A and B are shown apart, each in its own frame.
Chain A
Amino acid sequence: MNDLSFHEKSTWGTLVALIAIAVLYTLEVLDVSRAGAMHAGTVTGLMIGYTVLLVVVLVVYHLVLALAERPADEDERDRLIGWRAGNIGGLVLGFGVFGVIGHVLIGGMLGDARLLTPPAIANLLLLALFLATVVELSIKLYHYRRGI
């Protein structure tokens, strides 16, 4: 771990926390869906609750990290890696949003109402955001290890 910079450790922690909390959120959403309680209010509560949980976990992680070693300012390599990863993450998010738009439009044309409810669309958009963030963080880690 000593070979990793503060920013690389931060990226690892964020990726692991994000995936772990996404798994918990997905399991709970599936439970709610099976129980037939997939309403906008329920999903809103879950999204807010798990977002707060993610923020708390990340704050605690970064506090511990900052106590273990002095947080370093970003240098030019960190910024370059961030820009490249951010560009690709942005592309993934764009494709995801357009995918959801297509899903809504095509679903609307086909008249399938099950996946066109506000909670379903909100979860699809959240999935797009999750995938984009995971791709961005993974590309960061790739460049930290393999070079840029």
Chain B
Amino acid sequence: MLKSGLEINKRRFVLTVSVPLIAYLSISIFVIGWAFVLMFFDYSPGRLGGPFLGLGGSNPFIGFDNFIEMVKGASIEARMFRLSLKNTLIFAFTILPLNLAITLPLAWLLDSIKGRFKVIFRTIYFLPVLISSVGVALIWNNLYNPQSGWLNEIIKFFGGKPVGWFTDSTLTFLGIPVSLWAIMIAYLWQDYGYNMVIFIAALQGVPEELKEAAMVEGANRWQTFTKIVIPLIRPTVLFVCVMTMLSSFQVFDIVQVMTVDKPGIGTQAQVLVLDIYKNAFRYNRMGWAAAESFVLFLIILIVTIIQVRTLRTKWEY
């Protein structure tokens, strides 16, 4: 009797869960499948196209032409794609080490502070995370304003020449346009508090006796940090690396807001998701945008697999 009651409950559970799950997966699969199909068409939602979902006709099948154009093409969209891809890679591979270089030592420092100051500092550093990206972009846009921005005022105060952060097409630092640096700084400022809190949590989980044992063996604080602490928090480092890389590859809102009123020069800092957005929703090139999205998906997939394989551990403490 009890067994059959359980069976009934199980069946009810399966039924209750299956229906929304199937509905959800069906729609997800359709959307993914639709994007996959679109990348082989020169599709614009403004055109009538053929009878089946608007494919064919004035939205013709073009095979791999979008991908060939991305690699070899001289058209403006191909060049914008290549520039955006380059900027996205620069963005992701610059943000990650900078973020780790700031957050890990900062977390270690904060973890070593005792008492209420620890909470105060943690709150201060975490505050930017709570601000919306649009707000962060507006704040930094004001700071970068060539006429009245604080940064240029500080530079002028010390006798320097104001910088056209988003207006000087010649300005680069380490070969990267200053406009892209300006966005990366704003992004880092907003993002580092999140990783810092994660690292603090990880550091608190490192057993004190292991650190003390290392000290007894003659290791100094730096050696303890690099040889004992970091290897022990490697799973957390992996998590932070993967998540930071993912969000960096998908960065959109902050770039959009900081460059929206700066056509041309602001484009120097254009990233791939913004290019996808512009092509899809401004220029009506859904097929091209779908192909770009697929390239971004592949890049993120490959980078994530490499990160997981490189940083994974087979042990726990």
Say if A and B assemble together: no
